[in-house]
Amino acid sequence: MPLWQDLAHRTVAELEASGIRLRLDTVARRIDVERRELLVTDAVGGEETIGYEKLVVGTGAVSVRPRIDGLTGPDPLGPTDGVHLLHSMADTFAIMRTLEERSPASALIVGAGYIGLEMADALTLRGLSVTQVEQLPEALPTVDPGLGARVRAELERHGVDVLTGTAVTRIRQADSGSAGRFIVEAVAVDGAAVSRSVDLVLVVVGVRPNSELAAAAGATLSPTGAITVDRQMRTNLPDVFAAGDCVVTHHRLLGDSYLPLGTTAHKQGRIAGENALGGTREFAGSLGTQVVKIFDQAAARTGLRDHEAVTAGFEPLTVESEADDHKAYYPGSHRIHTRVTGDRTSGRLLGVQLFGHRHSEIAKRIDVAASAIFHAMTVDAISDLDLSYTPPLGSPWDAIQAAAQTWSQKLTRP
């Protein structure tokens, strides 16, 4: 069986061999900007002051704890009870303990975003009966409702009970005699009361920036609570940089936003580290490119959806179309559903959303779109790209190009 240690990008030995001194089980408590010192405590509470010339803050994000009766309050339910938030490795270990020690037969997941969908997939494959509750009208709210409906259909095809437009209001332990079980109460958008009895509850409704350390030192925060940084990842504090899920993200089309993504954090961390050593590199910006597998299907997006494009000052047109992932006469082809958003005036490509089989190269096709948006290409110019073709893997006009052509036709012939 694979070990959790195999998930690490680098081992401790590899990091130390590169010249990094690791201080594990150590918590940063206070930044003294004037003295350029960092107060830390070790695993037993011992304090130490570490001097610095440059400081990089990468405190990440923490799970959002929604105001649900039983999850908040003076005596909230937690991992030892079988109610879990999910963000860190420690959260994962707690869930694994619940799965191994209690052998739950059913689970309810609050939230149908990326992590919630992945957990629905994983727990179903482990044999649990899964209910998924989403407050917004459709699953995977980061894509348009039409594609979200396809995501929901795939969940339901694998036995997941999906309740959209439904807000969880209370989580409580079942009456005595039903040890280890929970009653989850919710309200549907039409006002109908909903109740489910389950063995395990996961709450995955997003994250917020963990910016308290920097804020206490005087760092400027954005309205979302993220640390404000410039394109070189500098904070307003002298010689203090910040990167990752705790900072604002420069979006190439929207400007400053908050997009806690692993790919973005890697780029920002590299830039902050390089500049802390005297470099002048700038973060080029994010497009919010994302992809998720849902059982046998995958959904992806990059750039702007229609309403986001309006906010950014564009005049968007969004067109949905379908195409085969490879030539239909070669066995095993699948349909890819695509939504292309472009600007009516300039023809500029603004965003793409995809849904299709997990073997249909959804991730790589969204990367083509992300590259095109990054370089401010027009929708029409997508057809000029020299993309690869062989019947088992593609078509002379790739699915992305076919979708772009449909958009152009819609623009000229509404």
- Give the domain extent around 349: 290-412
Asked whether residue 55 carries a pLDDT value surpassing 90, the answer given is yes
Please check the confidence at residue 175 and state whether its pLDDT lies above 80: no
Supply the pLDDT for residue 178.
52
d(CA 414, CA 389): 31
pLDDT at 378 over 70: yes
Whole-number pLDDT of residue 1 = 61
With a cut of 80, say whether residue 307 has pLDDT above it.
yes
Which residues lie across from 126 on neighbouring strands? none
| Least confident piece of the model among 71-80, 115-124, 211-220 | 71-80
pLDDT greater than 80 at residue 146: yes
* pLDDT band (50, 70, 90) for residue 111: very high
135 shares a domain with 45: no
Q: Domain boundary residue among 154, 188, 207? A: 207
CB 268 within 8 A of CB 243: yes
* pTM confidence score: 0.92
Flag whether 66 is in a domain: no
Give percent above pLDDT 90 in the chain: 91
Within-domain flag for 244: no
**What is the average pLDDT value for the chain, to the nearest integer?**
95
Same domain, 117 and 167: yes
Point out the least confidently predicted range of 124-128, 176-180, 249-253, 259-263. 176-180
Share of the chain above pLDDT 70, in %: 98
Residue 322 has pLDDT above 60, yes or no: yes
pLDDT band for position 44 (cuts 50, 70, 90):
very high
Asked if residue 177 has pLDDT above 70, the reply is: no
Q: Please give the pLDDT value at position 41.
A: 96
Q: Is 112 in contact with 139 (CB distance < 8 Å)?
A: yes
* 33 lies in the same domain as 147: no
User: Is a pLDDT exceeding 80 seen at residue 414?
Assistant: no
pLDDT of residue 179: 57
11 and 121 inside one domain: no
User: Could you tell me if residue 366 is inside a domain?
Assistant: yes
- Asked if residue 181 and residue 102 are part of one domain, the reply reads yes
Q: How many domains does the chain divide into?
A: 3
Type of residue numbered 128: L
Do 11 and 124 fall within a single domain? Answer: no
**3-state DSSP assignment of residue 146:** helix
Cα–Cα distance for residue pair 245/260, rounded to 1 Å: 5
Residue 224 phi/psi, 5-degree rounding, is: -80, -5
The Cα 26–Cα 308 span in angstroms is 41
300 and 402 in a single domain? The answer is yes
- The reply to whether 318 and 367 lie within a common domain is yes
- Kindly report each contact of residues 235-240 with a partner whose C-beta sits within 8 Å and lies 24 or more positions away, as own/partner: 235/57, 237/31, 237/33, 238/33, 239/36, 239/52, 239/53, 239/54, 239/55, 240/31, 240/33, 240/54, 240/55, 240/56, 240/57, 240/214
The 3-state secondary structure of 340-374 reads EEEECCCCEEEEEEEEEECCCCHHHHHHHHHHHHH
Is the predicted pLDDT of residue 42 greater than 70, yes or no? yes
Question: Do 93 and 47 fall within a single domain?
Answer: no
- Tell me, yes or no, whether 124 lies in a domain: yes
Same domain membership, residue 98 and residue 46: no
Q: Which of 398, 287, 264, 413 is nearest to 351 (CA)?
A: 287
Within a domain: 216: no
Asked, for residue 237, whether it belongs to a domain, the answer is: no
Of 207, 236, 259, the domain-final residue: 207
How confident is the model at residue 409, as a pLDDT? 95
Q: Is the pLDDT of residue 6 over 90?
A: no
Domain boundary among 181, 207, 233: 207
**What is the CATH classification number for the domain harbouring 116?**
3.50.50.60
